[in-house]
Amino acid sequence: MRLFDFASRSDYWVALMPEAVLVLTAIAVFMGDVFTREGDDQSEWTLTVVVFGVITAAIANGLLVNSTSVPDALLAVDGIRWVANYIVLGSLALVIAYAGPYLDREGLPRADFYGLALLAAVGMMLLIAAQDLILLFVALELMSIAVYILTGYDRRNPRSSEAALKYFLVGAFASAFLLYGIALLYGVTGTTRLSTAGPAIAAAVANGDLLLTAGIGMLVIGLGFKVGAVPFHMWTPDAYEGAPTPVTAFMATGVKAAAFVALLRILTIDLVGASGLWRNAVWWIAVLTMIVPNLIALSQDNVKRMLAYSSLAHAGYLLVGVVAASALGRSASLFYLAAYTVMTVGSFAVVFHVAGRGDRDSLVDDYRGLGWRRPWLGVALVIFLLSLAGFPPTAGFLGKLYLLQAAVEAGETALAVTLVLTSLVAYYYYLRIVWKMYFDAVPEEDTGPAPAPLGFGITTAICAILLIIGGLTPGRAIDAVEDAVDQRATAIASQNE
């Protein structure tokens, strides 16, 4: 196992290689667009560069496997990071694969979209790696600014502009909370690296320091806005519905994954000694986030908005792993994040294809007969919806099962019961679409959506197959992540003694 002690500059270059590759790719895309003559079609060249960059970043991320860093480092190199990086890169790759047909259909330029998506992914990966609160804030802003622009990318659409404005205003509000929390924690511990502040945190807990409680609360609120946890979720449905659908998929997966991993790292590793200050609050947030969005989703007729509320509910499921605050909870959360990324991006892709230009066919009734008119598209959507609902033998089912196991082992039986009951509630609005696809009568003049392009169909099929494989053979992946998480938590605990 390689140890990154960052005594030499070369360690930083290796540790930041995935992010550096994506930054260089984004620069190449932007510069290529600048020097392209007006009227020339650079879409194929741009896509080739982006695909090459993402693959190279994935290979560079492989250099971090079976590596670790010293606990007081600016950047974390551990199992949490390289697994979460692959989740973000997978989300980026799927969004890029699906975005091309969408952008062409809506008459939007590709280069700017790809460049901004690459920079947003860099912010996500730095957020995942950050062990210093200042780096965490910078990474969060890099990610957020790029996603704000992507949300309003379709400037001709008033809903897209409205979504961007709402996301920006709420995002700035969340950043203020986060920054204030960082300031309070620095005042308590004297450092912005919480992984080395164990003794100071223990002393503050023993003395009942209210600044520590307030600082942790501000951090939870700031990151709670980003993951869409209740009661910090009110902006999410409007922003998700108004944004271009590939951006919605990226927000629901990449942004949520990065913010959630940052929350997971801070609370369950760095601040585990102060769990008495945050655990009850996060418990209630998890319960509310599982219950409220699922109940609201029952009444939604717009599929895109329904999936937005579904995304919020899944944030509640993921928070179960945070409350468990164990190695199993962390590894189960990462596994579920990976499955959630694939099934969410895949389902949003089918949604934008069925909706057509301008997202005009986005209602549940627009899916009548889809299973018969476009059989392969219908089968893929059924797999995505069943995985979101948690039906076996999909990866979504296994992910929820691991989260349930983590909750029960941590003594959080009530939380586990809430997860099961709210999942049962969600069956209604997922299976409602399946019913429309196969059992509702369709007017004869309704020909359904246009046939899917070959590349779109292949990508969708790969996503569906991955969910089935993940549901049948998940063991090795979650065991490897659990071992890596154990090593990291042990190293930080030893440092703080």
Mean pLDDT to the nearest integer, 137-148: 93
Residue 290 has a pLDDT of 94
Residue 242 has a pLDDT of 86
CB–CB of 127/144 below 8 Å? no
User: 18 is written with which tokens?
Assistant: 């995935």
User: 337 is written with which tokens?
Assistant: 């994040």
Q: CA 348: distance to chain centroid?
A: 14
Q: pLDDT (tens digit, 9 = 90+) per residue, 43-80?
A: 678 888 999 999 999 999 988 888 888 878 888 888 88
Of 268, 367, 376, nearest to 326 by C-alpha is 268
Mean pLDDT to the nearest integer, 147-164: 89
pTM for this prediction: 0.91
User: 214 is written with which tokens?
Assistant: 């307030």
The most confident of 67-76, 112-121, 429-438, by mean pLDDT: 112-121
User: How far apart are alpha carbons 313 and 98 in whole angstroms?
Assistant: 24
Better-predicted residue by pLDDT, 96 or 355 = 96
Residue 453 has a pLDDT of 77
For residue 497, pLDDT beyond 50:
no
Better-predicted residue by pLDDT, 155 or 41 = 155
User: How far apart are alpha carbons 384 and 370 in whole angstroms?
Assistant: 15
- For residue 124, give the amino acid letter: M
- In this structure, are strands 2-4 and 67-69 parallel, antiparallel, or unpaired? parallel
- The pLDDT confidence band at residue 291, using thresholds 50, 70 and 90, is very high
In sequence order, what are the residues at sequence separation of 6 or more whose Cβ sits closer than 8 angstroms to the Cβ of residue 354? 361, 366, 367, 370, 377, 449
For residue 363, pLDDT beyond 90:
no
Q: What is the percentage of the chain residues whose pLDDT exceeds 90?
A: 36
Better-predicted residue by pLDDT, 2 or 162 = 162
Mean pLDDT to the nearest integer, 340-364: 82
- The pLDDT confidence band at residue 114, using thresholds 50, 70 and 90, is very high
- The pLDDT confidence band at residue 374, using thresholds 50, 70 and 90, is confident
User: How far apart are alpha carbons 255 and 151 in whole angstroms?
Assistant: 12
Q: pLDDT (tens digit, 9 = 90+) per residue, 212-258?
A: 999 999 999 999 998 888 888 888 888 888 888 889 889 989 999 99
Better-predicted residue by pLDDT, 206 or 296 = 296
For residue 286, pLDDT beyond 90:
yes
For residue 295, pLDDT beyond 90:
yes
Lowest-confidence segment of 67-76, 114-123, 279-288, 403-412 by average pLDDT: 67-76
Cα-based distances in Å from 389 to 207, 327, 371: 45, 25, 19
Tell me the sheet residues that pair with 228: none
Q: How many CB atoms lie within 10 A of CB 25?
A: 24
Task: Round the average pLDDT of the chain to a whole number and report it.
Answer: 86
